[in-house]
Amino acid sequence: MGEKVLMKGNEAVAASAVRAGCRYYFGYPITPQTEVAAYMSKIMPKIGGTFLQAESEIAAINMLYGAGAAGARAMTSSSSPGISLKGEGISYMAGADLPGVILNVERGGPGLGSIQPSQQDYWQATRAMGHGDSRHIVYAPNTVQEMADLVYLAFDKADEYLMPVVLLADGLLGQMMEPVELPPEKTEFPEKPWATTGHHNKRPHNVANSLYLQADKLEAKLRERYARYEQIEKTEQRSEAFMVDDADIVVVAFGASARIARSAVVSARAQGIKAGLLRPITLWPFPNDSLEATVPQAKAYLSVEMNMGQMVDDVRLAVHDAHPVRFYGRTGGVIPAPGEVLDAIAKLAQEVGA
């Protein structure tokens, strides 16, 4: 076992990406994720990798497209407004079946918003990073350790399913320091016979492209891609259950708000309210199976988020509206206090007679 070191989430994610084999990083500074770029700028020249501060977020995502097409493990990161700018390139990557890792350290929105932590990009991350029918695996870490572990996993999944994979964090996780044990340096990587690496006339040339001028060919391609998405929905759901087995009130929260919700659940138990926490680790695929499994026991659900309730519909769908699904959240960069969440749990418990 490696030594636990104290690191910021932004630094841990960068250090772990490098250990996952990332040798190309393209970015543009924006609070609260600039430490990722700072870390990469220091380490990449030392290990034969490339750190490139692009002229814009749009340039950076298109560099990720290029590096992914050439078979490299590559990454870009930004915060909310910058991620919006990347939308076009992310859609092109999905359309060309290219792997790549995209980190969003969310801040308040919309527009330039605030620089404080938020989870206001849930819809963007899970529904439409860009235009067209496309999906992306979305991981939502809630500790600095998970920042490291999930970015490490993201590179593997991007290569396995040939898609951009998103890590959805927030300013709290990016800026905070916690003990972290970094994963080992990866030495084995999947073959990429599809990569546009030059062929010296020894094989037919590879093409990375998202343009299909014949609609029926595009439709066939999309159906093929959706079969892959269906497979991901079956096999890649991840979540963590805390005191859920006998819970009347199941709190659903991800990322930073799940930490706060966990404290509130512990306090609720101390007051005799049977509360539990179901924490989605993948936001897409949403952990429908583990949520559905709570339906026979639960009396109500409380979605706790740092936005205006973007995950509520997903919870309602997962539990088939079998019980009330309520919402508590703060937004715009305000972090809820555990006491506020506890009050919301207590109110809901009273409402449903739990």
Partner 1 sequence: MPKDYSKDLKIIFAGFGGQGLLFAGKIVAQAGLLDGKEVSWLPSYGPEMRGGTCNCSVTVSTDPVGSPLVVEPDVVVAMNQPSVYKFIDAVVPGGLMIVDSTLVPDIPERDDIAIVKVPSTQLADEAGFKQLANVILTGKLYAETKFCSKDAIDAALTKIIPARKAKLLEPNQKALAMGMDL
- Which of 178, 233, 240, 292 forms a contact with partner 1 (CB under 8 A)? 178
CB of 32 to partner 1, least distance (A): 6
Instruction: Work out whether 41 is an interface residue with partner 1 (CB under 8 A).
Output: no
Which strands make up the sheet holding 249-252, listed edge to edge? 239-242, 275-280, 249-252, 300-305, 325-329
Name the DSSP letter for residue 287: -
Instruction: Work out whether 241 is an interface residue with partner 1 (CB under 8 A).
Output: no
CB of 257 to partner 1, least distance (A): 9
Instruction: Work out whether 172 is an interface residue with partner 1 (CB under 8 A).
Output: yes
Q: Smaller CB distance to partner 1: residue 34 or 134?
A: 34
- Which of 73, 157, 262, 330 forms a contact with partner 1 (CB under 8 A)? 262
CB of 196 to partner 1, least distance (A): 40
For 190, phi then psi, to 5°, come to -65, 150
Name the DSSP letter for residue 117: B
- 276-296 burial, b if ≥16 CB within 10 A, otherwise e? bbbbbbbbbbbbbebbebbee
Q: Smaller CB distance to partner 1: residue 73 or 262?
A: 262
**Tokens 């706060």 correspond to what residue?**
260
Q: Tokens at residue 88, please?
A: 């076009």
Listed ranges 20-28, 128-136, 172-180, 206-214: which one lies at the site for partner 1 (CB under 8 A): 172-180
What amino acid is encoded at 203 in this protein? R
Listed ranges 21-29, 160-168, 314-322, 335-343: which one lies at the site for partner 1 (CB under 8 A): 335-343
Q: Tokens at residue 105, please?
A: 């350290």
Q: Are 283 and 126 in contact (CB under 8 A)?
A: yes
Q: How many residues bind partner 1 (CB under 8 A)?
A: 23
Q: Are 77 and 164 in contact (CB under 8 A)?
A: no
Instruction: Work out whether 38 is an interface residue with partner 1 (CB under 8 A).
Output: no
- 3-state secondary structure (DSSP) of residue 186: coil
Instruction: Work out whether 112 is an interface residue with partner 1 (CB under 8 A).
Output: no
CB of 23 to partner 1, least distance (A): 26
Instruction: Work out whether 45 is an interface residue with partner 1 (CB under 8 A).
Output: no
Q: Scanning residues 242 to 261, which ones bind partner 1 (CB under 8 A)?
A: 256, 259-260
Instruction: Work out whether 61 is an interface residue with partner 1 (CB under 8 A).
Output: no
DSSP string of 92-130? HHHHTT--EEEEEEEBS-STT--SSB--TTHHHHHH-SS
Q: Tokens at residue 134, please?
A: 């496309």
Contact positions vs partner 1 (CB under 8 A): 4, 6, 31-32, 115-116, 171-172, 175-179, 256, 259-260, 262-264, 266, 335, 337-338
